[in-house]
Structure 1
């Protein structure tokens, strides 16, 4: 759903940029409460994983494909504020290096694909967790539902942007019907990927899943035909190996590199939902060439590498590496700012007397 330059006029693009900048600023502040020394590097990994999986377009209808947006996945794994930042980092890397998503439309894309998807997905996720019995299966089911609804939510937001500032005269009713229809189908793929990934991480490190915190169910014992809470077991020291996030980080990075560097070659070549709707309805009549169209990595290929498989694979590996570096740098900076704030509060506390 990367919106190119020229779909939305300048005034609305500027307004969307202001909304996106405000959301990012709020998220930078909110992420200080979500990130710690373990989750900061994992947030960079989540951004890289989203970048990799977005290269894997899957078919959803005749001549149409879809790909992960990632807002639901990021919000549930590392928190909603950090989730907005994760997807924003991905969109920035894609727009600057790979000419994917217009630079003048960056605000539109961040609002659609980062802010709206996170808000919708996390609201649905948290709402369902209040209704479902506590447990890992409920977390996975709620993640599925949140991801499913987040994609048509983003499609509705694009429709609103088009209604306010579309550069062509396509009736808004046609845009709404076409966008929501195809993105409901794409939402199913989003939900499957999100639920599978969240379930896999919960299986090995539930303590690292932001959306699963505080959901431990007390052990029950049957005594005289009644279920009672089991006595709390004495706390046992946690081995250093169990506390370390390195194994998960390494396995996640290797998975992202394999997906972007090798599996992406077999992704669907059909246009994604927005591209298909734009071509069918004439929304792309005034689309402009991307400012970075001559980038050495434009269109996810390495310039002057003639072999398509090698070119695309190298571009994917470079993208994953660049995203994990930039993302980890951003999140460590946010984490450090939190540590500085806590230090300042602790230092100032004695002077309050």
Structure 2
């Protein structure tokens, strides 16, 4: 659902840019809290310390999986948006930053998603999917039994609904700032219809990924914190909470490192090898754009001359090698960029949390 240059006029593109910039600023502060920066809860702080290093990996994983377009209808494909997945794994504010990093790397390096439309894409793919997905997720986990399986079920439904929500958001943006005169009703019907189908794929990927992480390290899943029922002990005839069990620090670090390495290797394999077999049909947005005529004023991408434009490495003639190399580079660049952002957030958190000297 990467919106190219020319779909949305300049004033609305600028307005969504302001919205995106404001959301990123708010998310930077929120991510500090999610990583333990301003939380008054020691449990939340320790959870943030454990999940913060995973944020860059989540961004890289979303980048990799977005290269894997899957068929959803005749002549149409879909791909992961990732907002719900990121929010559930590392928190909604951190999730907005994760998807924003991915969109920035895709726009600058791979000419995927217009640069003048970057605000539109961040608003639609990073903000809307994250907010809607996480809101649905939190509502469901309050209703479902407090079990790990409930987190997976809630993840599936949240991801499913986040995709058509993004389709609705794009339709509204296009209704205000579209550059062609087409029937908004037809655009809305086509966008929502195809993105409901894409949402099923998004839900499957999100549910499987969240379920896999919960099976190994449930304490690293932001959305699963506090859902485990506390063990009760009877003391002097009264039921009291049993002391919380905590994994040994060395074992916990080793387990976290193993998860990180496994996630990175999986991302590299998906982007570097599996991506070659992705469905080549246009995704939901581009198919609707072609069918409804909203792509008539599409502009050439500012990064069209990038050596990685189109997810291929310039001057490599073998298509398989070219796409694989581009995918590997993309995962590497995204994990570095994402990790740098969240390292800066954590460093700012640590600085703010440090006691101020008295100067005596």
TM-score exceeds 0.5 = yes
Does structure 2 retain, via aligned residues, the 8 Å contact 1:301–1:312? yes
Matched, 1:232 2:242: yes
Alignment partners' CA distance in 1, 2:241 and 2:121? 51
Deviation at 1:34, TM superposition (A): 1.2
Does structure 2 retain, via aligned residues, the 8 Å contact 1:151–1:183? yes
Identify unmatched segments of 5+ residues in structure 1.
222-227
Q: 2:295 aligns with which of 284, 309, 322?
A: 284
Does structure 1 retain, via aligned residues, the 8 Å contact 2:232–2:242? no
Q: Counterpart in 2 of 1:108?
A: 120
Q: Counterpart in 1 of 2:16?
A: 16
Alignment partners' CA distance in 2, 1:236 and 1:270? 48
TM superposition score normalised by structure 2: 0.92
Query: 3-state DSSP class of the match of 2:77?
Result: strand
Query: 3-state DSSP class of the match of 2:111?
Result: coil
Deviations 1:179-222 (Å, cap 9, x if unpaired)? 0000000000000000000000000000100000001123479x
Matched, 1:243 2:253: yes
After the TM superposition, which segments of 4 or more aligned residues of structure 1 sit over 4 Å from their partners?
228-231, 233-237
Alignment partners' CA distance in 2, 1:142 and 1:278? 32
Q: Counterpart in 2 of 1:59?
A: 71
Does structure 2 retain, via aligned residues, the 8 Å contact 1:218–1:229? no
Deviations 1:161-194 (Å, cap 9, x if unpaired)? 1000000011110110000000000000000000
Alignment partners' CA distance in 2, 1:230 and 1:316? 53
Deviations 1:246-273 (Å, cap 9, x if unpaired)? 1111000000000000000000001000
Identify unmatched segments of 5+ residues in structure 2.
36-47
Alignment partners' CA distance in 2, 1:230 and 1:79? 31
Query: 3-state DSSP class of the match of 2:53?
Result: helix
Q: 1:94 aligns with which of 96, 106, 110?
A: 106
Alignment partners' CA distance in 2, 1:34 and 1:321? 25
Does structure 2 retain, via aligned residues, the 8 Å contact 1:94–1:101? yes
Matched, 1:328 2:339: yes
Q: Counterpart in 2 of 1:347?
A: 356
Query: 3-state DSSP class of the match of 1:299?
Result: coil
Matches within 5 A, 1:32-43: 32-35=32-35, 36-43=48-55
Does structure 2 retain, via aligned residues, the 8 Å contact 1:179–1:273? yes
Alignment partners' CA distance in 2, 1:234 and 1:213? 13
Q: Counterpart in 2 of 1:175?
A: 187
Query: 3-state DSSP class of the match of 2:314?
Result: coil
Assess, with a 3 A threshold, how the Cα gap between structure 1 residues 235 and 305 changes in structure 2: closer, same or farther: closer
Query: 3-state DSSP class of the match of 2:301?
Result: coil
Q: Counterpart in 2 of 1:117?
A: 129
TM superposition score normalised by structure 1: 0.94
Assess, with a 3 A threshold, how the Cα gap between structure 1 residues 180 and 142 changes in structure 2: closer, same or farther: same
| Aligned residues: CA RMSD | 1.8
Query: 3-state DSSP class of the match of 1:283?
Result: coil
Alignment partners' CA distance in 2, 1:235 and 1:127? 28
